[in-house]
Amino acid sequence: MEGRVLRAHVKQEEEVSSVSNQSLGRDASDIGSSRFRRSSIGQSQAEPDKALSLLPLAPILRRRRGQVKVEYDGKEEPKHWEPPDWSKQLGHVRQMRSARDAPVDLMGAEKCYDTHAPDEVRRYQVLVSLMLSSQTRDQVTSAALQRLRAHGCTVDNIVNTDDDTLGQLIYPVGFWKTKVKYLKQTSVMLQREFRGDIPNTVEGLVRLPGVGPKMAHLAMDIAWHQVSGIGVDTHVHRISNRLGWTRGGTKNPDETRKALEDWLPRDLWSEINWLLVGFGQQVCLPVNPLCSVCLNQHSCGLVTTALLDPTDCQGPNLSLWVEYT
């Protein structure tokens, strides 16, 4: 009798062990479900599962998520790029521009409009000066706008001025015949769609004939006192590439604008245009730049290139090459 009880007890432990092994192999999501509660040793679902109640509760297995590491062409995610010496270079340019006596400071778009005119007339004159300034020296643009103001530089008056008279007023600005057409078309558009004022968005400004992104951003800054982007002309484009402020170099002013806006702090966007334009007019000239007097001569890509080939150093830059060698 004792042998039968012992064998029954051993058999029950083997069955319990089997159930335990099966339960440990089940998915954690099956715990507590009706399928799991069904007895594996012949008991009905309504009766308490005494055998299972004796088992330790299997731990819920949770997959731990590892950190995701994004790679770009086998390399780690690139950090924010900015030129290594840009802050120091900017400080040098500010120092060289401290006198603020370049043509842009005295005759730029900020100096051409009538300060006593109504706001919409003042904004219109800012836009006209920007349209005339393309491919034109500030001295010529300023003189042309003074003649237009004497004639009456308002939207209605320009619309009613014949093309020949308008051409005589703005000559000799660059591409003056094309600019006569653009001024008339723009003025008509402003009269019809904007009640004689200029658009207050970049999108609206670039719709006007003869107005591109550079003019639009400068008009937003000067006329509306809103910084929407960096105005990049040939001076800003040239100097930014010489100083290494464009990653890998850019081919045109619009590419330079996008490159600068990617890293230059926004609170400098308004300043950088007139700062570099005046610097380009006085020191960092397109031809024969005055590298020997530039405070950035030790970190400028133009000087580095010139030192490799002395034939690139002309005029005052020749003494710079002699000094370095």
Catalytically active residues are: 214
Give the closest residue to 284 by CA, choosing from 255, 245, 251: 245
CB 158 within 8 A of CB 166: yes
d(CA 97, CA 116): 29
Give the closest residue to 144 by CA, choosing from 179, 181, 185, 187: 179
d(CA 275, CA 271): 6
**Contact residues for 60 (Cβ-Cβ < 8 A; gap 6+):** 28, 31
Residue 220: exposed, middle, or buried by beta-carbon count in 10 A (0-12, 13-18, 19+)?
A: buried
Cis peptide before 118 (omega within 30 of 0): no
**Which residue blocks in the chain are alpha helix, DSSP H?**
2-25, 34-37, 50-53, 86-96, 103-107, 109-112, 119-133, 138-151, 155-159, 163-170, 176-193, 202-205, 213-222, 234-242, 253-263, 269-282, 301-308, 317-324
Per DSSP, the three-state class of 71 is: strand
Residue 281: exposed, middle, or buried by beta-carbon count in 10 A (0-12, 13-18, 19+)?
A: middle
The CA-atom distances, in angstroms, between 39 and each of 11, 22, 42, 49, 50 are 17, 12, 6, 7, 10
- Beta strands at 75-76 and 71-72: parallel, antiparallel or unpaired: antiparallel
